Amino acid sequence: MIPWEELSCALSAAALYLLGKGSGRDAEALRSVTRVNQIKDLAVILENARKVLPLIVTISGRVGSKAPIHCEHSGLRGVIVEETAEQHFLKHNESGSWTQDSALILSMNKEVPWYLDDGTGHAYVVGARGAAGFALSVASEVFEESGRSLVRGTLEYLQGLKMLGIKRVERVLPTGTTLTVVGEAVKDDVGTIRIQRPHKGPFYVSPKNIDQQIAYLGKWARVLDAAAQRQTSDKKDSHELKTLADNGKGECLPPDICVVCLEQEYNAVFVPMFAADRVPDKFSVVVTCAAAPTALRI
């Protein structure tokens, strides 16, 4: 039977390896997309690319809408608005103490048709909330304390609860935000151009431009690959130490690591210490390494 530690190590290394490969493939996919410098050129590009559809492109521009949403709490105008409200309270537990807890009492999402505009033209973006890299910014976060009264306090005490208040958070994609979108470009019968999730291929909506996204994914691919190799190396070292311990009937040989700095390889010299008219009964162990030369006596 395979020991659990070795199985866990192998699974971790495999997971890191697969994640690293996935990030590397995503970076390569982004390098292959068609870069559109001006949105006005999209119509011509689509016309010339009819035989090679789907056409995966990247465009950048500012968020706009013909009917933006007026945000109630922040006062901003946005195209996507998410509002949540959480009731915070203290709960009386079985041990007699009070613990803080919360419950979601409101979750509301609004979205209107919106587009990216770079000054030369605009293209609508569809399904952005399901795209990689997409995130709404917190526009407003307030805490409304609960009012206190004798009747309410009595009811809460009988229920084992103490209401603290309601936390309201408003997340928004404001108009005017600069975004980069990677997705499939399509044009409908009336000439409206949309960027949407492709059946197969990358779909990104992010404040980072295409080069920043590629660099970010490439960095993560290298980090995860190095972590996977380190995990595999640690597993091999652990297996070798266990084999040495088994062959030595339980006496595991220590690694060649300095006991002082725990980083560099050690170099030990045993020098006998003589007392007058006596045989050597002590040794001076001189341990040297680049980090911390020192001497120990045993």
Domain ranges of the chain: 1-33+208-244, 42-201
Q: How far apart are CA 46 and CA 51, in angstroms?
A: 10
Angle in degrees, CA 179, 54, 174, rounded to 5: 15
Percent of the chain with pLDDT over 90: 38
Percent of the chain with pLDDT over 70: 60
238 burial level (CB within 10 Å; 0-12, 13-18, 19+): middle
Q: How far apart are CA 16 and CA 239, in angstroms?
A: 20
Question: Which segment of 111-120, 229-238, 251-260 scores lowest on mean pLDDT?
Answer: 251-260
pLDDT category of residue 162 using cuts at 50, 70 and 90: confident
Which residues sit opposite 221 in a β-bridge?
A: none
pLDDT one-digit tens code per residue, 122-154: 999 999 999 999 999 999 999 988 766 655 666
The overall pTM is greater than 0.85: no
What pLDDT, on the 0 to 100 scale, is given for residue 225?
62
Question: Which segment of 16-25, 83-92, 119-128, 256-265 scores lowest on mean pLDDT?
Answer: 256-265
Question: Which segment of 80-84, 193-197, 288-292 scores lowest on mean pLDDT?
Answer: 288-292
What pLDDT, on the 0 to 100 scale, is given for residue 142?
93
Task: Evaluate if residue 168 carries a pLDDT over 90.
Answer: yes
Q: How far apart are CA 179 and CA 205, in angstroms?
A: 7
Q: How far apart are CA 45 and CA 39, in angstroms?
A: 10
pLDDT category of residue 260 using cuts at 50, 70 and 90: very low
Task: Evaluate if residue 79 carries a pLDDT over 90.
Answer: yes
